[in-house]
Amino acid sequence: MNKSLSKFIRSDFQYYIFIILVLAIPLTRKYLPYVMFLWVLSSIISIRKIKKVSYKQLILLLFPFLFFVSHVIGLAYSDDLKNGLFDLEVKLSILVIPFVAVFITEKVRVNHRIVLKFFVLGNFIASIICLVFALNKSVQMNELGNFIFETSNWPTVTQNLNFLQLVNHRYSNFSHVFLSIFHHPTYFSVYIIFSVAILVYLIRSSKKRHILYYSLILYFSIFIWLLGSRAAYITYLISFFTFFLIVILKYKKYWIGIGVFMLGVIFTVLILSNSRINKNINEAANIIENGQSLNKDSDIRLWLWKSGIEVFNDNLLFGVGTGDIDEVMKNKYQEYDLTEAQEHNFNAHNQYLDVAVKLGLVGLVLIIAWIITILVIAIKRKQFLFFYFGLILFINFFFEAMLNTIAGVSFFAFWYSFLWFVYYNAKSLSKRTSIQG
């Protein structure tokens, strides 16, 4: 094997696989497992002698290993081994995080900003394709043979609603599942919110004025609104106002901070105009303040959480096991006559609750400690992207069992290993290219 080919395989190959993977994450679910396999293969090819890893650095790699092993142990006291093995298969990428992270090549380290930019590009391409499909569905021919532009999925029912109302009610071709053709809107929103964090990082770490980056932030912000994910709205607003505090308190950039704050207020007003969100807020307030019970008109997610909490309370210490959660939750859905949840085999729609039901307090403490460790270390080390990655996960884990799906696990496993690697090597990066920004 000649030297140039050997160099490509041991160094450049992994870099290009990383580029392909970050482009693939927002654009496909079907082929993600194959690209993830190439991701692991590129690390096997790149095995080399590594620098000594300190305890503080090692602890971030220990958590994914413990998380996976705890699910293996949970399989031991499960009756449904088939379901448990499938769950382990989905989470397999989490197990390889420590291995992949320590064998990321110098080529990736030096060009980590390019990897970040390609992820943003992938999300931009995916969003444009979604808009084109929505536009195509909206251009229709009426009975007279004339082309008309109709954005509603139910024009006869929603003829009195304007575009803003159609989006807020998720009736438009340009909203929610009708718009997001590659992933569930919540997952796509997570990708785009992280893309916004990347754009902010790129702006902060460069002295140039990047009109393109600012324009993309605005574009992605509008697209997040169109996707209509309530979890994404909450994540976006918390991230937005966290950045506002950083700008004001740390950098004393008052005018920029005021601008960020005003944009946040505008987005908040837009979100609060959503009738679904208003209903959820009012119902939550009544439950907390007045002790109101759930009823048949309550949001299905609240019923899922109630069911999960009750199962957790009945199996407090070690949970029901990795494989038995579906059957136990179905029984609870049947008890409350949740037909839709039974038919579609809904999970708890909460990662913390999902782990608590499977593995009890032991698993719940593990995942909470893991997320808190990410946030604490990121804050102490001033790792901007790692912090926002942890923050996005921390919030969205309340609304989705992200680590139960290929879309969620792929995003988590790749960026966790990538950001850990750059954090680990931050001291060897120049001030201009440091992930600290």
Q: Give 245-311 as a DSSP string.
A: HHHHHTT--HHHHHHHHHHHHHHHHHHHT-HHHHHHHHHHHHHHHH-PPP-TTS-HHHHHHHHHHHH
Which residues, listed in sequence order, are joined to residue 377 by a DSSP beta bridge? none
How far is the C-alpha of 37 from the C-alpha of 283, rounded, in Å? Answer: 44
Place of tokens 């139910």: 154
Helix (H, G, I), strand (E, B) or coil at 237: helix
What is the tens place of the pLDDT at every residue in 254-313? 555 566 666 666 666 666 566 666 566 566 555 545 555 666 667 788 889 989 999 999
Helix (H) or strand (E) holding 173: none
What is the tens place of the pLDDT at every residue in 379-402? 888 888 999 999 999 999 999 999
The per-residue pLDDT for 145 is 72
Report residue 141: phi and psi, to 5°. -115, 130
pTM tops 0.75: yes
How far is the C-alpha of 87 from the C-alpha of 96, rounded, in Å? Answer: 15
Q: What parts of the chain have a pLDDT lower than 70?
A: 1-3, 5-7, 10, 48-57, 209, 244-297, 424-437
Query: Where are the domains positioned within the chain?
Result: 55-97+165-428
